[in-house]
Chains A and B, each alone.
Chain A
């Protein structure tokens, strides 16, 4: 499966190929990472479908969208694994997965599982003023941060959103100097200090490895 462009991942997601016994229902923001892991590990038994990444702008819609996708694909696969963390659903996604009898990635959000849930939880108290970006969010900074927050039209709102933050941590999943440069520019635009932290795929890899 070739990697769709970021715009497609944000707006429409990815359609399953129909090959494989396990279906991963994932957030569009994780498609590249999952396809990369799949290729690197030869996980032919897994198929992937992604919901539009922009669902993250409306977390209350994620649970129902996952429910719909599970219902749609249930009979075509041996099992289904949901590649979302809680992602702002307030425990609803986890409850829905339990209800449907499907497993999901653990953790509060992708920043946590990329870093490693345990490590992230330990350092969370000392990092409450940190704003995180992943590879996907760096590439889609305008679509997920600048435009929905209206910073393109009203840059004066920046401090209302980010005034309590101090630092932007770019959690790099891959080694890509151009993304680091973009992340640095993002930090500057938000008026935050910058730190790059290589995480790789963290607990995402561990979770998929068990399937």
Chain B
């Protein structure tokens, strides 16, 4: 039996437990994360604190190590899956306890593209950061985005693409927004492996986000700016 197998989560104090949850998240241990979340809930932690301090805190380390080339996609997916397990427990409780809402985002992979790993990571990290996320899924024509903007009234519209052949479709969506005179009503963020900052600018997006952590930071910054403008 390894040393790690001997750790009894419920015997750790809060600080040690959160630290252990960082490690478990890093190692993609879903059951351990679920157990950790339940222990903290039993100890009276607010769901929002568990989310931000234990789960998002842990995923931030995963994100940084991915960016630095220490972790690779499979490990990030395992960590995301573990976080998802924790989020599944916390989500209904967050709604009940009136956790702060930073803003609302509609997100989807564009028409012709079925790749959703990056989009799902962004959606999860945005939720973790206090955004309400409406996930449109994959292969979205411009109509889907327009309907969601109308129905959901988001602050942010997020578009994702993995293929060189599908990324130009983002411009179709933005151009349609311009035509309809609604472009400036929303913050438009784009992302995906073949994209870059230059492309984001060229198609008229507000920003290109190279990974989920950057997406969260960029979204927060733009939403704060938008709120400041509105209150000015």
Contact = CB atoms under 8 A, between A and B. Distances in A.
Contacts of B193: 59, 88
Given A124-B112, A129-B114, A164-B116, A88 B164 contact: yes
Contact of B164 (A91, A149, A153): A91
Contact of B194 (A88, A129, A148, A151): A88
Interface in B185-231: 193-196, 199
B72 interface: yes
A160 B77 contact: yes
B114 A165 contact: yes
A59 B194 contact: yes
A157 B222 CA distance: 34
B109 to A, nearest CB: 9
Give chain A's interface residue range (CB within 8 Å of chain B): 20 to 34
Contacts of B81: 160
B75 A90 contact: no
B74 A89 contact: no
Contacts of B75: 150
A154 B115 CA distance: 19
B167 A154 contact: no
Nearest to A125: B112
A151 B72 CA distance: 13
Given A124-B112, A128-B113, A90 B199 contact: yes
A125 B77 CA distance: 28
Contacts of B112: 124-125, 128
Interface of B is mostly: loop
Interface of A is mostly: loop
B27 to A, nearest CB: 12
Give chain B's interface residue range (CB within 8 Å of chain A): 20 to 34
Contact of A160 (B114, B117, B138, B194): B117
A124 B196 CA distance: 24
Given A90-B194, A90-B196, A124 B165 contact: yes
Interface in A88-146: 88-92, 108-109, 124-125, 128-129
A160 B164 CA distance: 21
Interface in B87-106: none
Interface string B156-196: 00000001110100000000000000000000000001111
Given A154-B74, A154-B78, A128 B114 contact: yes
Nearest to B117: A160
A164 B164 contact: no
A165 B138 CA distance: 11
A153 to B, nearest CB: 7
A64 B80 CA distance: 32
A10 to B, nearest CB: 17
A153 B75 CA distance: 10
18 contacts: A59-B193, A88-B193, A89-B164, A90-B195, A90-B199, A108-B164, A128-B112, A148-B72, A148-B73, A149-B73, A149-B74, A150-B74, A150-B77, A153-B74, A154-B74, A157-B74, A164-B116, A165-B114
Interface of A: 59, 86, 88-92, 108-109, 124-125, 128-129, 148-151, 153-154, 157, 160-161, 164-165
Closest 9 CB pairs of A and B: A150-B74, A90-B194, A164-B114, A108-B165, A86-B164, A108-B164, A88-B194, A160-B77, A157-B77
